[in-house]
Amino acid sequence: MGAAYFYHLTERPLEATLPVLIGKALEAGWRVAVRGRDPATLERLDRQLWAGDGFLPHGMAGGDHDAEQPVLLTLGKAGNGASCLMSVDGAEVTVDEVKGGERVCILFDGANADAVEHARGQWKSLTDAGVSAQYWAEEGGRWAKKAEA
């Protein structure tokens, strides 16, 4: 059974944190789906993943080779057999997705009160359903585990 990891972004933006987490997931041998709610955000992340410090092989959902993509950016269900789902911009995650995969990462902007409130709701609904969860926050450039359920 998988687990949900909540990442409270307070020091580094999504564009800096996401590639690191994707890299770790790929090192673990997992396929990754990055699920968002806003096409513009996914397009920005797509450009950043191509032009960033290190190349991360990926594609945007809707292409001819979705099933082969090690990392797929999507607005919906993962079409690449991902065992790691990364939720950005408050994209919804189901209990079955957490339980059926290796890991779900929920990244949320600590400077956005609505995003923090939405993440709290996700935490409650997932943990109330028996999902294992961890809450991580940035402290002085490092991640610190603040809660576990």
**pLDDT (tens place) for every residue of the chain, 149 residues total:** 799 999 999 999 999 999 999 999 999 999 999 999 999 999 999 988 887 666 788 989 998 899 999 999 999 998 999 999 999 999 999 999 999 999 999 999 999 999 999 999 999 999 999 999 999 999 998 999 999 99
- Domain hosting 73: range is 3-148
Rg (the chain; Cα; Å)? 14
Give the tokens for residue 8. 């409270």
Supply the pLDDT for residue 30. 97
Supply the pLDDT for residue 21. 95
> Which residues, in sequence order, are bridge partners of residue 105?
5, 86
Supply the pLDDT for residue 64. 87
Supply the pLDDT for residue 133. 98
Quick one: CA dihedral 140, 14, 126, 98, positive or negative? negative
7 and 107 in contact (C-beta within 8 Å)? yes
Supply the pLDDT for residue 55. 73
Indicate the SS3 state at residue 93: coil
Pairing relation of β-strands 71-74 and 84-87?
unpaired
pTM for the model: 0.94
Distances in whole angstroms, Cα of residue 57 to Cα of each of 22, 47, 106, 132, 147: 10, 12, 21, 29, 32
18 and 86 in contact (C-beta within 8 Å)? yes
For the chain, what is the domain count?
A: 1
Sheet holding 132-139, edge to edge: 59-60, 71-74, 32-35, 84-87, 103-109, 3-9, 132-139, 142-148
Supply the pLDDT for residue 53. 67
Question: What CATH number should be reported for the domain holding residue 69?
Answer: 3.40.50.10110
